[in-house]
Amino acid sequence: MTQSARMHADGLARCPWPGDDPLYLAYHDTEWGIPEYDDRALFEKLILDGFQAGLSWITILRKRDNFRRAFEDFNPETIARYDEKKVHALMDDAGIVRNRAKIEGAITSAKSYVTIMEQGPGFSALLWNFMDGRPKVNRFKTTATVPTSTPLSIKISKELTSRGFKFVGPTIVYAFMQATGMVNDHLVTCHCHETCGKQARKPRSAAQ
């Protein structure tokens, strides 16, 4: 369905997808589309996008704090050492999405991340090199014109897959690119379109 930005009670026009959910609106306004360059934060988002496959993002967003607790703040070095006992514990954790393939995929992806960090070029550098270090600013007017994947997301997907990452298909990668500000896909009439690329993400402490 074609949708354009909608006006909210606070007088701001926003992309239609958050609806009126306060948690989703906060995510839209303060996270989605703001460029992320931190290695660990990028890893966390990619893993969560993998868990989203087949589900809605709001489902993952509502469980995100549980995921962060269960996966020990998404420290890749720690996750890479998870064993079968830990997999069983995660499968028993009702606070997260209990999907064995996705859990084991996160562990495999963590091992691939560690290799990239140890041998180069670094996870953030690997991803942002595809963008020449700068976000691509799109100017979509309706949701119907926003793609679900692009030639570039296909290219990044192939690169990540070749390095051992799991659940990194072109559609998942494009959602990841949108969320981490590699592309600015806020609709042109959304109040975030002009500002998100100028913002810097605040580092998140383990307690957040």
- As annotated, the binding site for Zn(2+) includes 15, 28, 186, 190
Output the known binding site.
15, 28, 186, 190
* CA–CA separation, 31 and 72 (whole Å): 21
What is the DSSP track for 145-177?
GS-S--HHHHHHHHHHHHTT-SS--HHHHHHHH
* CA–CA separation, 49 and 58 (whole Å): 11
Pairing of strands 136-137, 183-184: parallel
**175 near 49, Cβ under 8 Å?**
yes
Burial of 73 by CB count in 10 Å (0-12 exposed, 13-18 middle, 19+ buried)?
middle
* CA–CA separation, 160 and 42 (whole Å): 13
